[in-house]
Structure 1
Amino acid sequence: MKRNLPETDTNGALPEQSKEHPAAKKKTDVLLDLIRDGRPMTLRQQLRLTVELSVPAIIAQLSSIIMQYIDAAMVGRIGAEASASIGLVSTTTWLFWGLCTAAATGFSVQVAHKVGAGDLKGARMILLQSLAGTLVFSLLLAILGASISSSLPAWLGGDVSIRRDASIYFFIFSIFLPVLQMIFLAGGMLRCSGNMRIPSLLGVIMCVLDVVFNFFLIFPTRGCSIAGMQFTIPGAGLGVSGAALGTAAAETVVASVLLWYLLTRSEKLSCHIRESHFRLKADTFRKALRIGFPMGIEHVVICGAQILTTVIVAPLGVFAIAANSFAITAESLCYMPGYGIADAATTLVGQSIGAGRKKLARSFAHITVLMGMAIMGVMGILMYLFAPQIIGMMTPVEEIRQLGVMALRIEAFAEPMFAASIVAYGVFVGAADTLVPCLMNLFSIWAVRLTLAAWLAPTLGLQGVWIAMCVELCFRGFIFLVRLKRGRWLKCDKT
């Protein structure tokens, strides 16, 4: 294997990153250097690096879903209608989230390949171009979202009683999409460069800030008694609007810190003054489009399927809508570790392929997928056992609790195979192989899940919808494992 030479500046000197003594580097960075330098890695080193990258990524993913859990739990205290108003538009918010993620991934995968090849200057140039491209993209999405917010709840078949709150919630979410886009971009860039710690830490901080802002914005001013002492807690009493504003405020703080760190403190991607003048290159955007466009289309079609699922659930009543939303949010606590490991897989596979080490990329693929299946299998068992407590924390309404527990216990059986599809997808993204996996996802959801849901819902209600989801996730995991084993994804790495 040809050894990658370190990057030099215009005077032929080594960059500041290369001057650092190996003993001063963190253990994770030392192991990542083994990939970039073409040196052999033992299985133990591969496992250790996978764990060290996965743990912070899992924490980041969990903090993200915990923030949604907090929103749902706090709003759930207001009443079933408030919960249903957020649940009604939740699939549409995921659609816009997915589009922002796809836009960021189109650039961050290129950065992973550049870092793996030792071309840090090229990675920084891609970063600067991505800031301009994704900002414009997210502004257009924000305009689109704001323009449809007033009509969306009616399109989704929501009850008249929840349409106003649902519309306001989605409007606030939409106008803050550029902020969310910067979080996805900055976090993705840091992860693809090998820095999982900072996005993870700031994800936790965002979760804490969300609690604080929600506490004062959702509920009205109220009295509180602690140890016999009376206190008055101020509150804006904004309800559903307060939940949206609290989340937006937390995202704004974290986006600002992430961008500051990425551009000024990141070891590999911080941009120097001499690099501030750069030209937009069509080739970079073409590559981003080739990687991100299939993902964007996938999110549109998949979330379209999820929206259609919402339409199927909506006639079942307010309790069913709220229970469906709570169950989806609660299940996220189970499968978000899979997405964290998938982030690590994208970084490891992307840098291995950038370094020209396909055998190592395959090894990391197998390690991460097996790890994801094991962890999510355990999480599935815990979800089944503690479903009443999980749903009970989100709503005091007994009818919603019973439906939510039923949904979680059905879904628990699908978690290991769901993990296989999640982590394998992260592997394929690291190899810039997005088109075929996206088509696989689309076929699985539309041909299996929706067909079964439409067939079972009229007779089994919400239970039928979740049985359809469980069957589809098992099928999806199987076809992703087949593609992983065949190895054709390794031939799609030319970005």
Structure 2
Amino acid sequence: MSKFSLQHKLIKIFSIALPSGANSLLDMANITVGMYFIADFSKEHMIALNVGMSYMMMLFAITAIFFIGTSAQVSRAYGAKDYQRLKSIMGNNFLITLFVSIPLLIVAFMGGELYLDWMGNGVSGETKLLGMEYLGIVVFGIPALMTKTICIAGLSALGDTKRIMYIKCITTTLNIILNYVFIFGFDFGIFTLDSLGIFGAGLCNVCITYLEALLLSGVIYMRKRVIGFNFVLRLEYSKTTFSVGIPAGIERFLTLFSLVLTQKFMSDYGADVIAGFQIGSKVEAFILAFGFGFQVAAMALVGQSLGRKRMDLAYDFLHTLLLYASIMMGILGLMICVFGVELSRIFNTQEAVLRASLYYLIAVGFSQVPLVIIFCLDGALRGVGATKLSLMINAMSIWLLRIIPMYIFVLYEADVRFVFGMIFVETYLRALIFWIIFKSRVWEKFIKRF
């Protein structure tokens, strides 16, 4: 059977990965804009915004269920050219997310204060009040967040990440304008909008999320020859979505919760360290966007190859992905190590904060190559529905090799550099585990048939 030429493979990989990476980059830009404006108020405002965002990130465990469950089925149906089945999957999952979003909104609204209390000393007093103000509005964007997840999953599975990027460009521009207007206030001549501060940042987030959901739904409607919504509930598609998606959701929850725990560990070192860690995380997020782009490409291309019953093609794409993604992410990782202080200074100028940020950036910068190997191979597992294997590897590695050692270092008040060092060590070990699983072809036994 014929294989694609290197040029053809690279075109397919980068036509998915770069727009998808740009989408993630624009997501980070949206977050950074809010951080940049809020930083003008106080350090407490910035910490409250970051902690509030971390709380909302926990919802990604739920969205992961529907994103992975939808993407795996759609990519397989698209590879097999079964467009009617594809549209039924999209319509079914769109309706399910709407039903799930309402109780989820209620739980998220009620749990905000408990989460802020749990975060400890670094998030108390004024910081806690500001966090509650932010969460009190931003949770109302959950229904739109859930439905736009289905739209993004469907388009990404087709490899159509460009249209998602175009929409993200529009909403990012509006986000900058609305963030400024809502946070600082604006005199429109006929009336004056007073400064809404951190509440304005949350309100802007809600408005943009609903706009994105509307525009993405419109794009899918216009592409109705190959994708669309057949709004009929089908037990078959729901069962597959949950059987594939729930392990991915559990994995995402454990991963996100580990990030929250890491933030809590940083809180034990004081406000300067947690602020430095948050800033370093945001700087890293700008290059991680491209890593996530390669993961989406792996999910789509491996899933489509399986739909064509071409496992040889799946391996061919993976080998090319791993080589070129490693080169690109290795260069970007070195850049954040070299320019870490200058990049962090955009958000804060205090020396103690910048020092903590640099320590973190060195640890993650020199581990970008193994991290993107993890992303690509994990994406391949998700693309074929082998989410239980992905859950086992990621959960065991992160919790046994990262979180427990970090907790011991914090418990015995070790230097924060040891805590960051565990991120570096665990990333290399997890990449090695993934490599062995794929090299031995053990992963093929976990492929989901549907």
TM-score by length of 2: 0.93
Equivalent runs, 1:354-373 vs 2, <5 Å: 354-373=307-326
Quick check: 2:90–2:228 contact (8 Å CA) kept in 1? no
Does residue 494 of structure 1 match 2:449? Answer: yes
Change in CA separation of 1:140 and 1:487 when aligned onto 2, cut-off 3 Å: farther
Are 2:421 and 1:467 equivalent residues in the alignment? yes
User: Is it true that 1:178 corresponds to 2:143 in the alignment?
Assistant: yes
Give the superposition deviation at 1:267.
4.2
Aligned-pair Cα RMSD in Å: 2.2
**Candidates 102, 112, 116, aligned match of 1:149:** 112
Which stretch has the larger CA shift, 370-379 or 117-126?
370-379
1:192 pairs with 2:157 = yes
Rounded Cα–Cα distance in structure 1 between residues aligned with 2:438 and 2:136: 40
Q: Could you tell me how far 1:262 is from its partner in structure 2?
A: 0.9
- 2:207 matches 1:249: yes
Cα deviation, residue 405, structure 1? 2.1
48, 56, 60: which one aligns with 1:93? 56
Over 4 Å off, 4+ runs:
none
- The runs of 5 or more residues in structure 1 that have no matched partner are 2-38, 223-230
Structure-2 change in CA distance of 1:355 and 1:245 (3 Å): same
More off after superposition, 39-48 vs 374-383: 39-48
Identify the match of residue 167 of structure 1 among 117, 132, 135. Answer: 132
- Whether the 8 Å contact between 1:74 and 1:394 is mirrored in structure 2 is no
Query: Within 2, Cα distance between the matches of 1:188 and 1:402?
Result: 39
Structure 1 equivalent of residue 194 of structure 2: 236
Name which of 204, 207, 212 aligns with 2:169: 204
Q: Deviations over 1:206-254 (max 9, x none)?
A: 22222111111112459xxxxxxxx9x9653222221121122122211
Task: Find the counterpart in structure 2 of residue 348 from structure 1.
Answer: 301
**Of 387, 391, 398, which aligns to 1:438?**
391
The C-alpha deviation readout for 1:429-476, integer Å capped at 9, x for no partner, is: 111111111111111111111122123334444333222212212222
For 2:423 and 2:224, the matched residues in 1 are separated by: 41
The answer to whether the 8 A contact 2:65-2:241 is kept is no
Letter in 2 for 1:485: K
Structure 1 residue 302 displacement after superposition: 2.1
Q: Could you say if the C-alpha distance between residues 285 and 270 of structure 1 is closer, same or farther in structure 2, counting changes exceeding 3 Å? A: closer
Report the CA distance shift for 1:396/1:266 in structure 2 as closer, same or farther (over 3 A): farther
Amino acid at match of 1:236: D
Amino acid at match of 1:130: N
Match of 1:381? 334
| 1:367–1:138 distance in 2 versus 1, CA, 3 Å | farther
| Cα distance, 1:154 vs structure 2 | 0.5
Q: How many residues align?
A: 446
In structure 2, what residue type is equivalent to 1:256?
L
Q: For residue 80 of structure 2, what is the amino acid of its counterpart?
A: A
Pair 1:208–1:398, CA change in 2 (3 A): farther
- Give the structure, 1 or 2, with the largest relative contact order (CA under 8 Å, sep 6 or more): 2
**What amino acid does structure 1 have at the position aligned with 2:385?**
A
Does the Cα contact within 8 Å between 1:50 and 1:368 map onto a contact in 2?
yes
Question: Take 2:3 and 2:365, find their aligned partners in 1: how far apart are those partners?
Answer: 39
Q: Equivalent residue for 1:476?
A: 430
Question: Separation in 1 of the partners of 2:108 and 2:136?
Answer: 7
Asked if the contact 1:69/1:330 (under 8 Å) is kept, the reply is no
- Please, what TM-score do these two structures have when normalized by structure 1? 0.85
Residue 477 of structure 1 deviates from its aligned partner by 1.6
Identity of aligned residues (%): 21
